[in-house]
Amino acid sequence: MDNLQVELQYFLELFLGGLTKGSIYALIALGYTMVYGIIELINFAHGEIYMIGAFTALIIATVLNIMGVNHAALVLLLSAGGAVVYASAYGYTVEKIAYSPLRNAPRLSPLISAIGMSIFLQNYVLLAQTSNFLPFPKLIPEFEFLEPISHIMGSSEFTIICTTSVIMVLLTILIKFTKIGKAMRATAQDKSMALLLGINVNHVISFTFIIGSALAAVGGVLIGSQMGQINFYIGFIAGIKAFTAAVLGGIGSIPGAVLGGLVLGWTESFGTGYISSDYEDVFAFTLLVLILIFKPSGILGRNTSQKV
């Protein structure tokens, strides 16, 4: 009986760990999936935007701390807000510099440009700041009501899951019921037709990059305060994983990105918990390969027949 309880608790722990991780993957994957849906580009620099978001939050929080601002909520608000603003600005600028001149170029050119941008941004942060891991301040306070279940879910896990859920709902409302959301969907379906109907496609693309970057920044701040440390390289692997999540769920589909993120998070969590912790990334990629072989459009992706 006792054994069963231990097993159950272990299972619950892994489940919640996977949920937390999956939520972060989902936040980053949304940026990939939205950009891919609109301009069919794998935005390799997206992981770097996430990293820049985390760095900006770290810098703002530390400066505020040194200046003597100790109000926890104020620090959290300012640093998260600053991270979102700066990440969006970076996302917008990256699109303007590296992708928008290449709208009509051969398909692989923007991809190479994106890889170049990713290398550039990584080294930019490395040179402007440091190559060492920096300790990330604990932005999320301890919640008292979580005390009884603190052994399975801490306050940062709780915050991550809640924030992600709220953001998903807001994003769905934005895409489904607002004018700009409608414009985004129209552009994703048919760019030239949207242009003919008077939609400013360039604005829509910029807006998509801004939203995606803001979501990535939120993910960066959350993961930073959960992990407690960041460096300039965190964006790369997170970016690849999040892209995997986006493809897993069906690229271009927003609920798909969320589902893909969660499935990926759980696969990694249960895989490392029950099989072996050395192969965390192998589980993720094996799952991806398997899903793509048996359902090439992803879990929620629509099967589009190729047009002649």
Write the interaction track for another protein spanning residues 265-294; mark x where CB under 8 A is met and - where it is not. Answer: -------------xx-xx--xx-xx--xx-
Closer residue to another protein, CB minimum distance, 52 or 210: 52
Q: What is the dihedral of CA 196, 198, 201, 207, to 10 degrees?
A: -160
Which member of 125, 140, 171, 223 binds another protein (CB under 8 A)?
125
Closer residue to another protein, CB minimum distance, 144 or 278: 278
Q: What are phi and psi of 209, to 5 degrees?
A: -65, -40
Residue 63 touches another protein, criterion: CB under 8 A? yes
Which member of 14, 16, 75, 90 binds another protein (CB under 8 A)?
90
The least distance separating another protein from the CB of residue 123, rounded to whole angstroms, comes to: 4
Q: Computed over its alpha carbons, how large is the radius of gyration of the chain?
A: 20
The least distance separating another protein from the CB of residue 223, rounded to whole angstroms, comes to: 17
β-partners of residue 229 are 135
Helix, strand or coil, per DSSP, at residue 182: helix
Distance CA 231, CA 122 (A): 10
> How is 197-240 classified by DSSP, letter by letter?
TT--HHHHHHHHHHHHHHHHHHHHHHHHHHHSEE-TTHHHHHHH
Residues 6+ apart with CB under 8 A from 255: 249, 300
Which member of 13, 15, 81, 89 binds another protein (CB under 8 A)?
89
Which member of 17, 22, 110, 271 binds another protein (CB under 8 A)?
110
Cα separations (Å) of 289 from 36, 201, 240, 294?
Answer: 19, 34, 14, 9
Return the half-sphere exposure (C-beta side, CA atoms, 13 A cut-off) of residue 297.
9
Relative orientation angle of helices 108-128 and 234-249, to the nearest 10 degrees? 150
The footprint of another protein on residues 247-266 (CB under 8 A) is 247, 251
Closer residue to another protein, CB minimum distance, 1 or 66: 66
The footprint of another protein on residues 137-176 (CB under 8 A) is 137
Which member of 78, 81, 112, 146 binds another protein (CB under 8 A)?
112
Distance CA 170, CA 164 (A): 10
Q: Which two tokens stand for residue 3?
A: 């054994």
Residue 305 touches another protein, criterion: CB under 8 A? no
Residue 25 touches another protein, criterion: CB under 8 A? no
Closer residue to another protein, CB minimum distance, 164 or 272: 272
Closer residue to another protein, CB minimum distance, 292 or 299: 292
Distance CA 129, CA 149 (A): 38
Closer residue to another protein, CB minimum distance, 135 or 141: 135
Residue 59 touches another protein, criterion: CB under 8 A? yes
Closer residue to another protein, CB minimum distance, 162 or 282: 282
Closer residue to another protein, CB minimum distance, 136 or 207: 136
The least distance separating another protein from the CB of residue 32, rounded to whole angstroms, comes to: 10
Is-contact 164 23, C-beta < 8 A?
A: yes
Q: What are phi and psi of 271, to 5 degrees?
A: -60, -45
Q: Which residues bind another protein (CB under 8 A)?
A: 36, 40, 42, 52, 55-56, 58-60, 62-63, 65-66, 82, 86, 89-90, 93, 97-98, 101-102, 105-113, 115-129, 134-135, 137, 240, 243-244, 247, 251, 278-279, 281-282, 285-286, 288-289, 292-293, 296, 306, 308
